[in-house]
Amino acid sequence: MENNEIKNDALFVNNVSYTKANLLEKQRGAYPLWIKICLLLVAGFYTVSGILVMVFYYDFTGGIIQLALSVAIYFVVFTLPPIIVNRQYRRFLELYRSDPQVKTYFGQEGILQETFQTEGKLNIDYLRIIKITQTRNFYLLWLRGKLYVSVAKAGFEKGDGREFINFILTKATNAKIKL
């Protein structure tokens, strides 16, 4: 289906602005909560065991190594996402001089995504969606690799969120649903 056909026959139209807060929310939503919980449990174990090793066994080298491992895990879970987002946002500002604006059209035959700053267009078939997740303000339609189409829950120009979820669940038959 051609771009103009998808635009004209779109059942849902969504507008997304890639602000720093939106990018951070999507970065944090990229990994499931259970992975973060497991990492924090391991970091907590290393913290406690490092302290116990230093106090009861007087093995300061082993205790310091375990504490360093726990600090590294805490860094990955809490500090790394904002660092990644700051770099990405700075790159966006250097390239576009403003927050990137993306408009996504959802038609019967596929998805058309337009980026206003670059005037880029991307056609996506519904069968390419492998997973559907959500964050507080976004639905994320995951494609192969770490690519996804972000849909702002409050960004619908045409249609609404409840109808959209029912629609996308019927169209993306290959997708795993994690809502």
Average pLDDT value for residue range 54-77: 91
Cβ-based neighbours of 173, under 8 Å, separated by 6 or more:
126, 127
Whole-number pLDDT of residue 136: 87
- If one compares 39 and 174, the residue with the highest pLDDT of the two is 39
SS3 152: strand
Q: Indicate the length of the chain as a whole number.
A: 179
| Domain assignments of the chain as residue spans, ordered by start | 3-17+100-174, 28-96
Tokens of 175: 């997708």
Whose structure tokens read 């507080």?
Answer: 136
Closest CA to 164 of 103, 123, 113, 106: 106
Domain topology for 3-17+100-174 = PH-domain like (2.30.29)
Using the 8-state DSSP alphabet, how is residue 97 labeled? Answer: S
Provide the mean pLDDT of the chain: 88
Closest CA to 15 of 155, 165, 173, 170: 155
- CB atoms under 10 Å from CB of 23, counted, come to 21
